[in-house]
Amino acid sequence: MLRLLIIAVALTLPEIALAAGGGGHGAIPWKEMAFHAINLGILIGTIVYFAKAPVMDSLKNRSLRVKQDLEESHTLRKDAQDRFDDLEGRLARFEQQLEETRKEAAVEAEAEARGIAAKVEEEVAWIKEAAEKTIRDEVVNARTSLQREAVELAVTIAEETLTRTISADDQDRMARDLLGAVHGEVNANG
């Protein structure tokens, strides 16, 4: 504060001297200058005396506010950095989980594809077996049917042939021979 007072006096002395000189006689009116300097000193001292506490309080409060603002800013910056680090960590974990999920999905898809392929192979084998069994059954049925038709045809042909070639006398003779053979068999057995 004293420095401020000295600077103010030094700056105002030449102006006071000119104002007190009244026209430039060449003599410096030291008395008037001293009087004005004392008045200025008293004025500045009074201002300093009454304004010192509020100015100092204001400066102190301002300093405290700046300090608090800096601390709050530091705290907010630290919180923001912590949140950023947390988000960055979560993002890295998310990317890792995403990659793991992709790998698991690929493995599951491959396993499912193998399962489907195995099931398809089983179904193809079952269909093939069923088709082969059906074919075998149809072949057996066809053979049986053909044999039956062949037997029926042979019987019909034999019947027609016998009807055409064997006369009534031949039929009587064959019936007697058959009865004689049956009779001889009955007698032999008892």
Residues 174, 178, 181, 184: is their CA dihedral positive or negative? Answer: negative
User: What is the value of pTM for the model shown?
Assistant: 0.35
Residue 33 covered by a domain: yes
190 residues of the chain, pLDDT tens digit each: 566 666 666 666 666 656 655 555 567 788 888 898 899 889 988 888 888 888 888 888 888 999 998 999 999 999 999 999 999 888 888 888 988 999 999 999 999 989 999 999 999 999 999 999 999 999 999 999 989 988 888 888 888 887 788 777 877 888 888 888 888 888 877 6
Range of the domain at 87: 2-170
In a domain, 183, yes or no: no
- In the three-class reduction of DSSP (H, G, I as helix; E, B as strand; rest coil), residue 107 is classed as helix
On whether the CB atoms of residues 44 and 8 are closer than 8 A, the answer is yes
103 part of a folded domain: yes
C-alpha pair distances (Å), 7 with each of 15, 20, 24, 44, 59: 14, 20, 25, 11, 21
Looking at residue 82, its pLDDT comes to 92
- The neighbour count for residue 90, using CB atoms within 10 Å, is 11
Instruction: Report if residue 178 sits inside a domain.
Output: no
Tokens of 109: 């898809």
Phi, psi of 25 (to 5 degrees): -70, -10
Q: Which class for 132: exposed (0-12), middle (13-18), buried (19 or more C-beta within 10 A)?
A: exposed
Judge whether 180 lies within some domain: no
CA distance 37 to 27: 18
Number of domains in the chain: 1
Identify whether 181 is part of a domain: no
Angle between helical axes of 30-165 and 2-21 (0-180°, round to 10)? 130
Secondary-structure percent of the chain, ordered helix, strand, coil, rounded to 5: 95, 0, 5
Q: Per the domain annotation, does 177 fall within a domain?
A: no
Position 123 in a domain:
yes
